[in-house]
Structure 1
Amino acid sequence: MPLRVGVIGAGFMGRHHVRIYREMPEVELVGVADVDESAAEVAAEYHVSFFKDYRKVLELQPELVSIAVPTSLHHEIALAALRNGTHVLVEKPISNRLDHAREIVQAGAESCCKVFVGHVERFNPAIRSLKEVLQKGTLGQVHSIANLRVGRYNKRIFDTGIILDLGTHDIDLISYLFGHRAASVFAVGSLQPGRDYEDHATITLKFDQDQTGYIELSWLSPYKVRKMFVTGTRHFGLVDLIEQSIIVYDGQRWADSGLVSRDEPLKLELASVVEAVQHDLPPSVSGEDSIYTLQVALEAMRSYREGKAFHFPEFAGSSYPIGNK
């Protein structure tokens, strides 16, 4: 039997959830909800019932819903779905409040429903290949990972700044690649006149094993760039998350790793989620992972506002991801 799935929020990301679910033979897409009536065009394009009220989708008793709404609405909708007995995939970040994030994860446990969080870059083939490169020791001991994530500001983002919206990708990725959680965070940031949240930030993550993560974020760039610079004791790696490529410099020349099999990260993510629901597997990205990422991001925001670093003694010696993969 195909898995009954609903999509709540059919904007920038949600429309891609709709598209991919409709392409999956193991899924029956039962409904799409969005407060914006123009999103009805997305539902019509893929021949799916459309509702303005997300509760109407839940009344259809889907087994899984994707929640791709503004971050400030994640808590309300996720709790409603979980209490309905529905597994949830929440776009990242899981919430803009730590207490709300914990309530979502707790509600999942109490309802025996799975909570997936859409840290889609984990499914980028370049990241999966880079993880293999690091595990093989190709670069030697890795001392630093520097991520550059810049592009134009998107007006759809109105309830959060760049650290929560984009920086959570890189906090998660760097921790995932190092294999443990950060010991401290320090950040600087700025915002354009007339905006309520930061649109540029630089974040430094310190880890226990003499490892450092650097994150550069900006909504002020005319160009979209998603790159990672990985410095090891033997070699240097350059990863392009858009091109899905890894090249390695050995001190004399650059060489393509030849390991990346390109594919759409969101498609891989949704396939993983559907498989986990159908076969009762643990989430690849757990709710606990996302609570950690949110906590570090919130402290990064606090750091740039107060001008000082914040430490995480509770994370000492803790591996990452906290989940199963």
Structure 2
Amino acid sequence: MDSEKIRVGVVGLGHNGLAWCEAFRQHPECELVAVCDRDEARLQAAVGRFGVRGFSDYAIFDQPIDLISIHTPDHAHAEPFIRAVEAGKHAIVEKPLANDLEDLSRMVSAADSSGRKTYVGQVLRWNPLFRLMKRLVDDGTLGRVFYVEGDYNHDLRMQLHMEPWKVTHEKPIVGGGVHPFDLLRWYVGNATEVYAVSNHIAYPEMHEDTTIVATFEFESGAVGKVTAMYAPIIGGMAHDYNVALYGTKASIIRRELYLDGLDKPMTIPIEYQGHPYDPQVEHMVRCIKEDRRPLVDVHEGANSAAGVICAHESALLRRPVRIPRF
């Protein structure tokens, strides 16, 4: 396959699915050949836009395709992912990998048995600011990191009239909170236990509690916090996900670096840059063609999803919950 184009099929044609279609179409080593969605209007619009074959069912998995990219709702990731890898396809899937532990187990098992490359779209790992934070952790600039935190505070009330599944099926700490939690895991390692509390004062139309605060213990000895709010009146979304890392030598609070012995912080001259799709496509292409392990494979994706799924459970039970490893 070194000189051949990777044939790609995209399942799920909402906002993210279409953005991935465009990224695949622009990549010189990919060929977008098929799209799939149960919504006939969406499907036909994408077929016309990209000039590819369209499918409204799982027949897409029987086609001569090398890579399936899955962008269905959070609660509907498992079946197309499992079908893809069992059909011998490499697979990309949106974050969170799934929103319950049983689906995580099934997906990990299917992927491991298949031997195919898998990638979970934890997009923040490709943001330049958060990649710099990772380097500062790894090179020892911060010393031993003892406390970490991040937020997913985003006014999503407009989704009531846009994407109904996000009102009826999404779990805020899972669908949104997995963004900052995945970063924290990337920085300080796996979490072992979580305790969370929540309320449902804001955005009553949503079926789940819309404000949740989760505290985590990590294997490294660090502790941390993730907050997810789906209806804060803040004019959109909290900038930089409010990521903060505190170490024995230095701390980073959003874009401010505080070094021990200096009175004033240094501002990191990097702006937050949305959702970069192109580097994710390039990464998966290299992993397939050069037999590399993806940065966020099914195990990494499962461990990030497990932490926030357990946070959701903890808030319901009002007690700490141990986090399984995948």
* TM-score (normalised: structure 1): 0.86
Paired residue for 1:318? none
What is the Cα deviation at residue 129 of structure 1? 1.0
- Distance between the aligned counterparts of 2:84 and 2:208, measured in 1? 29
Matched to 2:198, the amino acid is G
Q: Quick check: 1:123 aligned with 2:126? A: yes
Task: Note if contact 1:140-1:234 (Cα within 8 Å) is conserved in structure 2.
Answer: yes
For each residue in 1:241-275, what CA deviation from the matched residue of structure 2 results, as whole angstroms up to 9, or x when unmatched? Answer: xxxxx331334223234578969532211211121
Paired residue for 1:213? 224
- Alpha carbons of structure 1 residues 229 and 102: separation in structure 2 relative to 1, 3 Å: same
Task: Note if contact 2:128-2:270 (Cα within 8 Å) is conserved in structure 1.
Answer: no
Aligned length: 307
- Alpha carbons of structure 1 residues 97 and 310: separation in structure 2 relative to 1, 3 Å: closer
Matched to 2:195, the amino acid is F
SS at 1:152 equivalent:
coil
- Distance between the aligned counterparts of 1:139 and 1:298, measured in 2? 29
Counting only pairs closer than 5 Å after superposition, residues 69-148 of structure 1 correspond to structure 2 as: 69-148=72-151
CA RMSD in angstroms, aligned pairs only: 2.3
Paired residue for 1:45? 49
SS at 2:8 equivalent:
strand
Counterpart of 1:184 (choices 175, 189, 193) is 193
What is the Cα deviation at residue 194 of structure 1? 3.7
Paired residue for 1:279? 290
SS at 1:223 equivalent:
coil
Q: Quick check: 1:166 aligned with 2:179? A: no
Counterpart of 1:223 (choices 236, 239, 242) is 236
Structure 1 unaligned runs (5+)? 240-245, 316-321
- Distance between the aligned counterparts of 2:23 and 2:287, measured in 1? 17
What is the Cα deviation at residue 7 of structure 1? 0.4
- Distance between the aligned counterparts of 2:40 and 2:210, measured in 1? 29
Matched to 1:42, the amino acid is A
- Distance between the aligned counterparts of 1:216 and 1:105, measured in 2? 27
- Alpha carbons of structure 1 residues 112 and 14: separation in structure 2 relative to 1, 3 Å: same
- Alpha carbons of structure 1 residues 31 and 208: separation in structure 2 relative to 1, 3 Å: closer
Counterpart of 1:62 (choices 52, 60, 65) is 65
- Alpha carbons of structure 1 residues 164 and 30: separation in structure 2 relative to 1, 3 Å: same
SS at 2:176 equivalent:
helix
What is the Cα deviation at residue 170 of structure 1? 2.1
Q: Which moved more, 1:75-84 or 1:189-198?
A: 189-198
Paired residue for 2:28? 25
For each residue in 1:69-126, what CA deviation from the matched residue of structure 2 results, as whole angstroms up to 9, or x when unmatched? Answer: 0122211111221222111111111122222222222222222222221112122222
Q: Which moved more, 1:207-216 or 1:71-80?
A: 207-216
- Distance between the aligned counterparts of 2:176 and 2:204, measured in 1? 20
Matched to 2:41, the amino acid is S
Task: Note if contact 2:124-2:275 (Cα within 8 Å) is conserved in structure 1.
Answer: no
For each residue in 1:195-238, what CA deviation from the matched residue of structure 2 results, as whole angstroms up to 9, or x when unmatched? Answer: 32122211111124441111111111242112212222333313
* TM-score (normalised: structure 2): 0.86
Matched to 1:174, the amino acid is L
Task: Note if contact 1:61-1:86 (Cα within 8 Å) is conserved in structure 2.
Answer: no
Counterpart of 1:4 (choices 4, 7, 10) is 7
- Distance between the aligned counterparts of 1:73 and 1:264, measured in 2? 22
Task: Note if contact 1:125-1:265 (Cα within 8 Å) is conserved in structure 2.
Answer: no
